[in-house]
């Protein structure tokens, strides 16, 4: 009897965490460690301890038979849709990843509110606008609360406000949190405080420091360059897509830049949804704390990100590979952390974090993420506008999918790879491969002292 109670308890714990038939696989995703900061690593380590013993039993047939056949990625995206619907006041019920009767009714309410046909089935644009608006809300902080308080429709009114901002061109970018806190691993010895300097017996005469000759410097006449907001850009792209009646296809494409922008913003939405799915498995950690930890990737990979605008793909991969080897971290840990930070970087509009995360994923055997790097180079977000260098990244992603790798972005969109490659070649003007360049030696990179290893 006691044995049955123990088995039932363990099974119930697994069911509470995720679908029964995915328990083992989801646990593998959730227990991946972090390469930066102690907070993500500690939370995942605690999760791993709780899941050390796994009992495999046949799950009872679900009453929601219509959920069979839904992929993990689609279920994650559905959960993001349900969270967004609930936030804006369209009651979708529990966020279980299954768009059932309640979710369809909520979708119809959202569509009617926005003036779309109330079909209960989201078009790609309607979905992208809903998820993008939800991401803006999550990153908006006090500004979002002020907008809600000033609008008689409450959260629902935000959707109208965002739509009107897009139509009028007054689109405020998503600003990362103003302050972040670095969580230091208490197990690592911290530097001792400097010894106090004894006061001088008499006031010393003022000393004028001589100017230090630092040698010639590169002149700059534009001051600090401001980074373009990808979030605002994608809001405008989504509005244009809706006005054009949907996404451009290979047959209907009239402007290759428009087609690439649509696919760029679509891939960004999928990356954010994937990150939210993984963050949901990290217990006891807030979104702000994860953002603070992910921000530490930017200075670690700034040289590699900068090299994208100068070197060809092979040289950049070599440089990032040397960084990955220098960390001494498990590839599985780094992959899961990079997926979390990729979407989080896009969510808060930190393109250096997003680019660094995508580079790590490509080097660690996830070449489909090379599409994102191609988009950044083709459109000039977070990198110099280099359509000639973008082709190799696009091609590597398409080749991986042709070899049987599961697409990460819009897996159900037919002809997507052909559309991207054709549009990129037309923008490049030659259709050829990027020119070869000599690899540059990678600089040594030390991990911060607050990292932990499992």
pLDDT at 312: 92
Tell me the residue length of the chain.
454
The CATH label, of 1.10.3470, 1.25.40, 1.10.287, 3.30.160, for the domain at 282-428 is: 1.25.40
Q: Is the pLDDT of residue 217 over 50?
A: yes
Measured between alpha carbons, how far apart are the two ends of the chain, in Å?
36
- Tell me if 90 sits within 8 A of 110, measured CB to CB: yes
For 62-120, write each residue's pLDDT tens digit: 444 344 567 888 898 999 999 999 999 999 998 898 999 999 999 999 998 988 888 99
Question: What residues have CB less than 8 Å from 341, skipping those under 6 apart?
Answer: 36, 275, 294, 297, 353, 354, 356, 357
**Residue 78 C-alpha from the chain's centroid:** 17
Q: Is 171 a residue whose pLDDT tops 80?
A: no
- Tell me the two tokens of residue 361: 């994923």
Residue 312 CB partners (closer than 8 Å, separation 6+): 389, 392, 434, 435, 436, 437
Q: What is the pLDDT of residue 436?
A: 35
Q: How far is CA 86 from the centre of its chain?
A: 22
> Which tokens go with 21?
């038939």
Report CA-CA distances (Å) from 161 to 114, 243, 265: 11, 18, 20
Secondary element (H or E) of residue 359? helix 351-363
**CB contact at 8 A, 159 and 113:** yes
Task: Give whole-number Cα distances, 9 to 50, 54, 63, 185, in Å.
Answer: 13, 11, 22, 33
Q: Where are the domains of the chain?
A: 2-50, 282-428
Q: Residue 328 is encoded by which pair of tokens?
A: 């001494």
Residue 415 CA to residue 422 CA, distance in Å, equals: 11
Classify residue 244 by its DSSP letter: T
Do 33 and 454 touch, CB atoms closer than 8 A?
yes
Give the tens place of pLDDT for each residue, 172-198. Answer: 433 333 333 333 333 333 444 444 444
pLDDT of 122 higher than 70? yes
Q: For residue 430, what pLDDT band results from cuts at 50, 70 and 90? A: low
State pLDDT tens for residues 251-283.
889 899 999 999 999 999 999 999 888 888 877
In contact, 80 and 273? CB cutoff 8 Å: yes
């Amino acid at each position: 009897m006691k044995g049955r109670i123990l088995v039932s308890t363990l099974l119930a714990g697994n069911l509470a965490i995720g679908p029964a038939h995915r328990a083992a696989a989801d646990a593998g995703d959730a227990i991946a460690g972090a390469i930066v900061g102690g907070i993500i690593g500690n939370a995942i380590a605690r999760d791993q301890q709780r899941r050390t013993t796994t009992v495999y039993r046949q799950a009872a047939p679900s009453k929601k038979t219509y959920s069979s056949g839904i992929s993990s990625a689609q279920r994650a995206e559905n959960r993001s849709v349900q969270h967004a619907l609930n936030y804006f006041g369209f009651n979708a019920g529990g966020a279980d990843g299954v768009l059932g009767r309640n979710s369809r009714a909520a979708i119809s309410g959202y569509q009617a509110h926005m003036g779309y046909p109330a079909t209960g089935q989201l078009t790609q644009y309607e979905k992208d606008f809903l998820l993008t608006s939800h991401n803006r809300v999550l990153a908006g902080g006090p500004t979002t609360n002020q907008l809600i308080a000033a609008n008689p429709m409450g959260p629902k009114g935000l959707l109208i406000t965002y739509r009107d901002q897009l139509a009028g061109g007054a689109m405020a970018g998503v600003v990362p949190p103003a302050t972040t806190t670095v969580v230091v691993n208490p197990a690592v010895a911290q530097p001792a405080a400097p010894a106090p300097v004894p006061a001088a017996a008499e006031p010393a005469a003022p000393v004028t420091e001589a100017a230090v000759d630092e040698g010639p410097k590169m002149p700059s006449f534009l001051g600090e360059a401001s980074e373009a907001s990808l979030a605002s850009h994608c809001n405008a792209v989504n509005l244009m897509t809706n006005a054009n009646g949907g996404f451009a296809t290979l047959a209907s494409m009239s402007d290759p830049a428009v087609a690439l922008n649509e696919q760029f913003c679509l891939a960004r939405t999928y990356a954010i949804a994937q990150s939210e799915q993984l963050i949901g498995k990290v217990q006891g950690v807030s979104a702000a704390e994860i953002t603070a930890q992910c921000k530490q990737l930017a200075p670690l990979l700034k040289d590699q990100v900068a090299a994208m605008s100068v070197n060809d793909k092979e040289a950049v991969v070599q440089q990032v590979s040397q960084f990955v080897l220098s960390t001494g971290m498990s590839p599985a840990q780094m992959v899961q952390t990079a997926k979390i930070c990729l979407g989080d970087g896009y969510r808060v509009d930190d393109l250096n974090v997003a680019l660094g995360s995508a580079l790590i994923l490509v080097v660690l055997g996830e070449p489909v993420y090379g599409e994102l790097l191609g988009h950044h180079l083709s459109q000039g977000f977070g990198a110099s506008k280099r359509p000639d260098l973008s082709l190799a990244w696009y091609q590597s992603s398409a080749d991986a999918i042709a070899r049987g790798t599961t697409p990460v972005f819009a897996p159900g969109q037919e002809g997507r790879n052909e559309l991207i490659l054709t549009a990129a070649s037309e923008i490049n003007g030659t259709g050829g491969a990027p020119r070869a360049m000599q690899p540059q030696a990678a600089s040594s990179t030390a991990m911060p002292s607050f990292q932990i290893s499992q």
